[in-house]
């Protein structure tokens, strides 16, 4: 996993000397693996940088902020916790949008505000290779466009750059890595956690992967080899 993280960091120039990087953590396996990898790499990297882990608590019962803070402290990092009601509002009658869309938008907005306050120009998110493929299919099916998340993505005319160090790392490898390192993964108390459009796409893709193990790699490579001359305009 560290090799693939290093490949993504190098290919996209994700970290510059003296970067202050806000690391968005959710308590899930992806963000915890990303934080561990960035913290471990920080100790031996010739490029000095600082990490600022941040957790946006959406406000559901059964929160795990204290356990998450303890795990960050074990990595030598001080976790900032923002307690909000974003999840509750997104699932209330006042919301006319998809609850996941609104909650994610509010949490992302707050992350950028905190990044500004901390002087962080980089925001690291734990999206992995599978997430990028799934977003590609979600945008085709539900947004009517050919697009996905990219490993290093500028926002607000370059004021911030979102980096995704796990962009080349498959979900199964992250799962094994978490188990090997003995890192805790916290249960998501959101009532929509297992009923999302992303989960529908994930289930569809898993059926394709079972039929042919080369499908995932082919889809990922296809996103890097787009032949515009063979697409309608």
On the question of pLDDT at 190 being above 90, the answer is: no
Tokens for 78, please give them: 């001080």
Question: Where does the pLDDT of residue 71 fall: very low under 50, low under 70, confident under 90, or very high at 90 and above?
Answer: very high
Number of residues that make up the chain: 233
Tokens for 105, please give them: 């938008």
SS3 sequence, 72-116?
HHHCCCCCEEEECCHHHHHCCCCCCCCHHHHHHHHHHHHHHHHHH
Q: Sheet containing 122-124: which strands, arranged edge to edge?
A: 80-83, 49-57, 19-24, 122-124, 160-163, 152-155
pTM: 0.93
Q: Provide the mean pLDDT of the chain.
A: 94
Question: What is the spatial distance between Cα 130 and Cα 219, in angstroms, rounded to a whole number?
Answer: 10
Instruction: Collapse the DSSP code of 36 into the 3-class scheme (helix H, G, I; strand E, B; otherwise coil) and give the result.
Output: helix
Q: How far is CA 110 from CA 80, 84, 126, in A?
A: 12, 10, 17
What digits encode the pLDDT tens for the residues 193-204?
Answer: 777 788 899 999
How confident is the model at residue 233, as a pLDDT? 83
Question: What is the spatial distance between Cα 202 and Cα 39, in angstroms, rounded to a whole number?
Answer: 29
How confident is the model at residue 193, as a pLDDT? 74
Tokens for 186, please give them: 């916290």
How confident is the model at residue 7, as a pLDDT? 97
For the chain, the domain total comes to 1
Question: What is the spatial distance between Cα 67 and Cα 149, in angstroms, rounded to a whole number?
Answer: 30
CATH number at residue 99: 3.40.50.620
In what helix (H) or strand (E) does residue 162 lie, and over which residues does it extend?
A: strand 160-163
Per the structure, the complete domain to which residue 34 belongs is given by 2-230
Among 223, 104, 207, which Cα is nearest to 168's? 223
What digits encode the pLDDT tens for the residues 4-25?
Answer: 999 999 999 999 999 999 999 9
């Amino acid at each position: 996993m560290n090799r693939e993280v290093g490949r993504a960091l190098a290919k996209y120039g994700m970290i510059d000397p003296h970067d202050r990087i806000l690391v968005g953590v959710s308590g899930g396996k992806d963000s915890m693996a990303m934080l561990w990898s960035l913290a471990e790499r920080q100790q031996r990297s010739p490029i000095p940088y600082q990490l600022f882990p941040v957790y946006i608590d959406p406000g559901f019962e059964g929160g795990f902020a204290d356990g998450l803070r303890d795990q960050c402290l074990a990595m030598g990092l001080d976790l900032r916790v923002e307690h909000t009601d974003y999840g509750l509002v997104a699932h209330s009658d006042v919301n006319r949008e998809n609850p996941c869309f609104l909650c994610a938008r509010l949490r992302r907005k707050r992350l950028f505000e905190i990044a500004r306050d901390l002087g962080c120009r980089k925001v690291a998110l734990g999206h992995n290779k599978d997430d990028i493929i799934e977003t590609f299919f979600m945008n085709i099916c539900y947004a009517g466009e050919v697009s996905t998340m990219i490993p290093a993505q500028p926002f607000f005319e370059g004021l911030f750059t979102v980096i995704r160090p796990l962009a080349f790392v498959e979900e199964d490898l992250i799962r094994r890595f978490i188990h090997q390192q003995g890192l805790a993964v916290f249960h998501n108390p959101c009532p929509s956690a297992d009923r999302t459009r992303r989960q529908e796409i994930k289930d569809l893709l898993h059926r394709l992967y079972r039929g042919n193990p080369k499908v995932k790699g082919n889809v990922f490579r296809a996103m890097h080899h787009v032949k515009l001359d063979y697409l309608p305009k």
